[in-house]
Structure 1
Amino acid sequence: MEHSNFLNDQSPIGFIGKAGASALHVNEVRKRFHEVNEGRLQRLKEGLQLKQQQCFELLPLLFHVHQRGLPGYLEATEMPRGIAFYQPQDALLRSAQSLTRQTFSSQLVSRPEISALYLMGSSGSIGQSTSSDLDIWLCYDSELSQFKINLLNQKCEAISHWASGFNLEVHFFLMNAQKFQGGEQQSLTGENCGSTSHTLLLDEFYRTAQLIAGGMSAWWFVPTSKELEHEGVIKKLVNNGHISTKEVTDFGGVSKLDAGEFIGAGLWQIYKAIDAPYKSVLKLILLEIYAREFPKVISLAHSLKNAVYRMNLSLDNLDPYVMLYQRIEAYLVDRGEKDRLELLRRCFYFKVGINVSKPTRTRTWRRELMEVLVQSWGWTKHTVQHLDNHRQWSIESVINERRLLVSELTRSYRFLTEFAAEHHSAHVMSQRDLLILSRKLHAAFDRRPGKIDFIKIGLDIDLSNEKIRLHERESKQKGSALWAAYNQPIDEIDSASPLKYSQGLLETLLWCHLNGLLSAHLHIPIQPLKEKISDFEIRMTIASLRQHLPTPLAKINPDRFYHPAHITKAVLFVNLGRDPLAYLSARGLQKISERSDSMDFSSLRENLIISIDMVLVNSWGEVVVERYDDHNVTANAIRSLIGKINKQHGNSQPELNVVCNNETRPHAIAKRISDLFEDAINALCRSNKSASPRFIYHESEEFLVFQKLNNVIGYRRFSTEKELIQQLGEEQTTHNPVIIDRLFQAKTKWLKPLLSAQKPQAMIIGFERHNKRVAIRLIDEKGSLIVFDTEFFNVATLISPLVRFLKITEHRQRSIDIEQFQGQRQIQCIEFISEKGQYKALRTPVKGLINKGHFISIQVNVDVSSNGSDEFVISCNEKEFSSNILGDNLYTAVASYILGIRASGKKYPAYITDIALSENFIAKLPYGMAQTKHYLESKLRLEKKINLAMASL
């Protein structure tokens, strides 16, 4: 076929001169576009199976009509329908009729609401494989309402689901060409680059798009030399009657690139590299080329259009991936970067996915083209076979390939970052998209102590046949050792580099497991240096890893990156490689091996927890190992886990599993740690963020108290119950209950039942008679414990004045700060009785006790003098006694007055009925707040002095 001179290879690119374009020129462009487009669509169909072809060919008809029985049909009368200039062929209509048994009309829709369907990406190119998905831009009328757009989106989802039944993965993207020209884009999704780029996305669309149905892109009618005048050229062509606005879809021109697009697009490609590194390396180097050409960038889309205008219509030469490769190859050759060129070729080869070295019965255009390229690269038969047999690559080959890929990704990102800084350009990503990208990149590439790194490189590689050996070696740090993994015999290890090393055996084992090195092994040679580890323990540990952390790990839903990471699973491996018997023996303690494994752990006072390896899996797919093997093993592990959970948003708690596989009481130890951690989580990870509950458990002869202070979980150790009880009496900022673990035991018998009886907004009085004395233990409204004793006459005279005082004090506190009160406080009374070797806690009713008995009204006002000492004004039946006036004689004067007004004159104890604490006194308290503890302690202190004075009279 002959073509006009203005379109031959010797002519300038373009056809618009001073006189403008003629109808002949426009028709020639249209003809050439359709020739290339049909050729690429045919290549696409050749790569599909017969059923997939039939499914693909039906796609435009499903959007053109909306009829019951067709895939994607929804009960919606307002469903958008009709594709502009689309008229299905009779064969396609018959195929649709076979699905619905109904007749379809082949007439054009009068008011089509869909302008075009475009296929973009690798489809129809050498990069298309049997597993490739189809990305389709569905371009709808800009006047569609949001309601109709939502309906159309639902239909797309239904059709995608239907296509999956043919093993065809189809993704639809609803596009408004008018809004796209204005720069409006969707946010980031799994298949969409969102706000990371605009012009670069358009460049990729134009060089890969294939028109399935509807109007062709207006961009094809604008020569590259007129790209900056895209809008004016199209307007002129419309005004001259050469094209109609209804027959084209106009996304705008690939004009000037914004420098800020490079960093956004680069981040997006690194994001994609997590799952498909070879494809991303290709696109990152292309971005590098564009950046070096900036601002006069000749995009691949321009190169494609120039070739079509010059009548270079070879499908091989116009193949998007071939053009991409050739552009990068020329760039790297010009720069003399041979290593990067070899990596580029491997990336291209793996992206194409054709095993050239393996014979095949069918010859396809993709294979023939790939063979030509491989031959031009000068690859040997051995090189091609090595790549084709990548599934059997050694672990060293995989690690080396990953290193090269990560190095290239890092290099590209660094270059693009420097480019953005040089041109003083900020990225054009939305804050939301930037957050998503940075979080996924952090999860994939961030390296920190204990985090398991995955060596996957985007290829299906089987490492299960690797012969792994574990070896404990001396560390450079004195007194410590490292566990290393090798794939060579133990006697050759000294001269070999480890595949992985870490401070703990579990971390090294877990790295091997998660990277597929242990999936086919039941026995692994181990050479310990310090500890004796049995083969049984190793086998059981590997089985536990497979049970609790099965491979491959579940794929992470991209929606999870919209939220901060939170721990979803915690697996605790206790005493791996550590024998508690040997540890206790080294400390000269009694042997416990003869104790029954079924014995209640609470009866065992020795601490059998020597080490904990805590494996944490979070919602972003990160796996981290934290090792604890010091004196505070259990406490530090609890503190770390509780601290992490409390930093999480929401109230979700991780799944908890505990594993112990050594010979010494493994089941009892695992059960004890599981119960303890569950109790600690339930106690310290509550939805009420204002409270800071205290959690207590004992370890050997010590007691540990956990509490959150200044938003940080900490703990304190107490060697005696006396010290513990003293700590429980400390002031609290709010109601901070004391929660004990389920196996808590104390020699002080009343402590456990008293602590267990606590309730919010309640006070508990516990008492125990001892002949003529009675011991009283009171827990106030904030959880502070007050312990004292007094003379005992009867329950009424014991409880009545105390309950009355507590109620009066409550009224005083309410008048000072009513906001902290939520209803009336409850007062519970418990009597502890030791009877025939049994200790009982009996509830004693307090109702009515507040009005029982007759007591002299003794009121006290407590203030602070100018020198900081306490001042008292004591009122007895309205008569006042002031410490400022009486000094040291205050208590004698009060005692004399009380004896004087008693009819009997007996010296039984006097009880203060009311105490008022001044603002100055309250201000000097630890937290600047007065709780019942402070009122009661002032009462007890003053009562003691008054009663001692009375006894001496």
Structure 2
Amino acid sequence: MIEKKIIWNLKKFQTYNQERQRMFAEASPKEANQILYLLPWMLSVNHPRVPGYMKDAEKNFRVYGIDRSKNILEKAPLFCRMFGVGTNLLFQKKDSLLIEGLYSIGSAGTLAQTQDSDCDIWVCCDSRLIGREGWKALQKKINIIKDWLDTNCRMPVYFFLSDLEAIRRGDFGQALDESSGSAQKNVLKEEFYRTSIVIMGKVPFWWVCWDTDGDMPYGNTWKQLEENRRISDELVNLGDIEKVSSREFLGAALWQLHKSLTSPLKSVIKMTLLRMHLDRPDEALPCQRFRDQVLRGEMDFQDPMGFSMELILQEYGRDLPRTEHQLMVRCFYLRCGLTSFEQKKPIRKKQTQRFVTIAGLSREACFELDSFEEWDAARQMRFGKAMLLRLFRFYEDIVRRATGVASMMDTRDLTVLGRRITAIYQKKEDKVVHLPRPGYAFNLKSLEFVWMEDYWNLYPGSDRQLPFLAGADILEAVTFAVWNGLYNRTSMRMEPNPSSVSLQEIINLSEKIKDIFGVCDVAERDAEVFLRAERFTKVLVVISFEKSPYEKDINDLGVIFSNAWGEIYVRRFQSPFALASFMRQYRKGNPSLEVYYYLQRNASYYEKIIERTKRLTALTLGSGSL
């Protein structure tokens, strides 16, 4: 009886998996052909002309089931011709080491797959069977194939060689390289079971160990099946998943928050799923509920990302205020790159229509979101600020929940995350503010500096409704533009005005600032930096920027300085002595402080002014660079 149920479930899963493969191929035909068919073939052959060749290999590797794959057998002659091989390599008689299966994890073959998506692939083996040397050889073969794919496949592909027993234990090795440092083993396994495609190989036993009555214990059922090799040989035991602890959810939520600092849209679905389960720790996991839906077969095909978004909207979103709900729907729509006029991809079109209906999006709202890439900068800014507020609320909630649950590692992560957020978004005296954005570059035809007699405003092109920056000093405005990635020397503009500042000098100073400080990179900085004090690391002294180039005296000095956390500040001084006093404050504890200088190149007393300023700062900080 159990065997019949398993076989029935296996057929259901295989039908679902074929739809996932079709959805992948629909989104990226060339890349899907390389990943779904060429990759298993390259792993299963060994020839000098084929990527992955191992010269001294005593045994080949072979992905389970490749000999019976109709698609690969049909394509094998084409692959042979592609690499100039005359024989069908799959049927060469030689002992082989078994690769249990190749599995994708993540957005590939889902609604969330976009033109920028990558593909993470688990290569699963039994290390006891292939041995230490076989493991090393397989890793080398994978690396060679990856080098070829990096050159020939538009979609970035990342491989994670994984041992069956390690996966059962929840030890994912290099597959957890991206973790925030906290234990996330079951969070990753949940995502794997929910989003994976079986590219080639055995079907995870978890997917078919299911009964409508719930009476199919994982361990006992596997033991019974092992006696019937005809069935168990088609399955791979990667371990069960029943619950995910609050601490694991917390660790995963922290990692998603880190990622959202630079790409809020890319993290929005995972982040909201994690938040939902922090609110409802005793409910069934998304992967379990998704398996129920697939194996019951009562509904048409639905991809896992569409399912996840629907689950969130129906069970979490219904309790949100209307504006919060609308923001979440728009984030999902934009994250997946959906479009209401999809015509060439029928599977994606059907999944999109289902989401739009569930989300309650009007035709007008869809058209508005479809034109997101053409939104003006002001609208992008407003959307970015709304996402930022949502991010802050999520962070505050995580901090509250961490009490009594967080491990030492989680506490460290919370400290680092809090200081990253502080470095990017907290307002401080003289600090250059960071401009929130939805994860894409602003649509800027030009960046315009407008003088308002006592201060400067910075506008996105000719639009004067919402400035990027208002009431700013010119040094702050220039630094703001560079630091926020708005600077482009070909699109800089300045409204005619009677000040002594020229557009060329703005461009020259911008280049200098960019060379020294770069752009805001707080989210990419090493975590250890945020466990230490935010000491200052670089200083740029700007001399007489707003004065006539014929001015001889040094009475207009600006300082642009950054610290190890990635914050950047601007200060102005009216005399060399005020500057010297300020610089003296930062001498202690900063032996490696880098000092640079900027003065208009056409200044009549250029050399003299530079030397005088250098001598002044040398008294406190040592010599610097121009």
TM range (shorter): 0.7 to 0.9
- Aligned with 1:511 (options 460, 465, 480): 480
5 Å-filtered alignment, 1:145-294, equals 148-164=134-150, 165-186=152-173, 195-223=182-210, 229-239=217-227, 243-244=231-232, 246-294=233-281
Counterpart for residue 574 of structure 1:
543
TM-score relative to the length of structure 1: 0.57
5 Å-filtered alignment, 1:869-948, equals none
Q: What is the rounded CA distance, in whole Å, between the counterparts of 1:146 and 1:554 in structure 2?
A: 45
Q: Percent identity?
A: 21
Aligned letter for 2:139?
A: N
Counterpart for residue 882 of structure 1:
none
5 Å-filtered alignment, 1:832-851, equals none
**Aligned in 2, Cα 1:325/1:361: closer, same or farther, shift over 3 Å?**
closer
- Aligned with 1:142 (options 127, 140, 150): 127
**Aligned in 2, Cα 1:76/1:239: closer, same or farther, shift over 3 Å?**
same
Whether contact under 8 Å (1:279, 1:351) holds in the other structure is: yes
**Aligned in 2, Cα 1:382/1:460: closer, same or farther, shift over 3 Å?**
farther
1:533 paired with 2:491, answer no
- Consecutive unaligned residues of structure 2, counting only runs of 5 or more, are none
Aligned letter for 1:347?
A: C
Whether contact under 8 Å (1:153, 1:174) holds in the other structure is: yes
CA distances 1:778-830 after superposition (whole Å, capped 9, x unpaired):
xxxxxxxxxxxxxxxxxxxxxxxxxxxxxxxxxxxxxxxxxxxxxxxxxxxxx
Q: What is the rounded CA distance, in whole Å, between the counterparts of 1:526 and 1:502 in structure 2?
A: 18
Whether contact under 8 Å (1:51, 1:166) holds in the other structure is: yes
**Aligned in 2, Cα 1:489/1:37: closer, same or farther, shift over 3 Å?**
closer
Aligned letter for 2:273?
A: L
Q: What is the rounded CA distance, in whole Å, between the counterparts of 1:418 and 1:108 in structure 2?
A: 62
Following superposition, the deviation at residue 665 of structure 1 comes to 3.6
Counterpart for residue 309 of structure 1:
295
Following superposition, the deviation at residue 442 of structure 1 comes to 6.0
CA distances 1:758-782 after superposition (whole Å, capped 9, x unpaired):
xxxxxxxxxxxxxxxxxxxxxxxxx
- Aligned with 1:668 (options 604, 607, 626): 607
Aligned letter for 1:627?
A: R
**Aligned in 2, Cα 1:465/1:559: closer, same or farther, shift over 3 Å?**
closer
Aligned letter for 2:25?
A: K
**Aligned in 2, Cα 1:77/1:363: closer, same or farther, shift over 3 Å?**
closer
**Aligned in 2, Cα 1:306/1:372: closer, same or farther, shift over 3 Å?**
closer
Structure whose alpha-carbon radius of gyration is higher: 1
5 Å-filtered alignment, 1:815-830, equals none
Identify the structure with bigger relative contact order (alpha carbons < 8 Å, sequence gap 6+).
2
SS of residue paired to 1:314? coil
Counterpart for residue 391 of structure 1:
373
Aligned letter for 1:217?
A: P
**Aligned in 2, Cα 1:350/1:187: closer, same or farther, shift over 3 Å?**
same
TM-score relative to the length of structure 2: 0.84
SS of residue paired to 1:139? strand
Aligned letter for 2:18?
A: E
Whether contact under 8 Å (2:596, 2:624) holds in the other structure is: no
5 Å-filtered alignment, 1:265-664, equals 265-294=252-281, 296-312=282-298, 314-315=300-301, 318-356=302-340, 362-374=344-356, 377-421=359-403, 424-427=404-407, 444-445=424-425, 447-449=427-429, 450-465=431-446, 467-471=448-452, 484-486=457-459, 499-501=468-470, 504-515=473-484, 517=486, 519=488, 520-525=490-495, 533-536=499-502, 538-546=503-511, 548-549=513-514, 561=526, 564=529, 571-578=540-547, 608=554, 610-616=556-562, 622=566, 624-629=568-573, 631=575, 632-636=577-581, 638-639=583-584, 643=588, 645-646=590-591, 657-661=596-600, 664=603
Q: What is the rounded CA distance, in whole Å, between the counterparts of 1:239 and 1:90 in structure 2?
A: 31
As a proportion of its length, which structure holds more helix? 2
Q: What is the rounded CA distance, in whole Å, between the counterparts of 1:561 and 1:145 in structure 2?
A: 36
CA distances 1:246-267 after superposition (whole Å, capped 9, x unpaired):
5433222221221111221111
Q: What is the rounded CA distance, in whole Å, between the counterparts of 1:312 and 1:552 in structure 2?
A: 58
Whether contact under 8 Å (1:470, 1:483) holds in the other structure is: yes
CA distances 1:49-97 after superposition (whole Å, capped 9, x unpaired):
3365245421112222333221133545378722233325433321332
Whether contact under 8 Å (1:572, 1:614) holds in the other structure is: yes
Whether contact under 8 Å (2:118, 2:155) holds in the other structure is: yes
Whether contact under 8 Å (2:446, 2:493) holds in the other structure is: no
Aligned letter for 1:574?
A: I
Aligned letter for 1:509?
A: V
**Aligned in 2, Cα 1:201/1:395: closer, same or farther, shift over 3 Å?**
same
Q: What is the rounded CA distance, in whole Å, between the counterparts of 1:559 and 1:348 in structure 2?
A: 25
Counterpart for residue 77 of structure 1:
57
**Aligned in 2, Cα 1:364/1:573: closer, same or farther, shift over 3 Å?**
farther
Following superposition, the deviation at residue 382 of structure 1 comes to 4.2
**Aligned in 2, Cα 1:123/1:705: closer, same or farther, shift over 3 Å?**
closer
Whether contact under 8 Å (2:65, 2:201) holds in the other structure is: yes
Following superposition, the deviation at residue 320 of structure 1 comes to 0.9
Whether contact under 8 Å (2:118, 2:156) holds in the other structure is: yes
Following superposition, the deviation at residue 371 of structure 1 comes to 4.0
Aligned letter for 1:271?
A: H
Aligned letter for 2:210?
A: P
Whether contact under 8 Å (2:45, 2:90) holds in the other structure is: no
Whether contact under 8 Å (1:32, 1:308) holds in the other structure is: yes
SS of residue paired to 2:90? coil
Aligned letter for 1:668?
A: E
**Aligned in 2, Cα 1:227/1:443: closer, same or farther, shift over 3 Å?**
farther
Following superposition, the deviation at residue 369 of structure 1 comes to 3.3
Aligned letter for 1:83?
A: V
Following superposition, the deviation at residue 740 of structure 1 comes to 9.4
**Aligned in 2, Cα 1:484/1:132: closer, same or farther, shift over 3 Å?**
same
Whether contact under 8 Å (2:36, 2:200) holds in the other structure is: no
Q: What is the rounded CA distance, in whole Å, between the counterparts of 2:149 and 2:165 in structure 1?
A: 29
Q: What is the rounded CA distance, in whole Å, between the counterparts of 2:520 and 2:38 in structure 1?
A: 32
Q: What is the rounded CA distance, in whole Å, between the counterparts of 1:44 and 1:392 in structure 2?
A: 27
Q: What is the rounded CA distance, in whole Å, between the counterparts of 1:580 and 1:123 in structure 2?
A: 58
- Aligned with 1:95 (options 73, 78, 83): 78
Counterpart for residue 112 of structure 1:
97
> Number of residue pairs matched?
610
Whether contact under 8 Å (1:136, 1:172) holds in the other structure is: yes
SS of residue paired to 1:119? strand
Counterpart for residue 45 of structure 1:
25
**Aligned in 2, Cα 1:265/1:485: closer, same or farther, shift over 3 Å?**
same
Following superposition, the deviation at residue 43 of structure 1 comes to 1.6
SS of residue paired to 1:130? coil
Aligned letter for 1:426?
A: A
**Aligned in 2, Cα 1:196/1:472: closer, same or farther, shift over 3 Å?**
farther
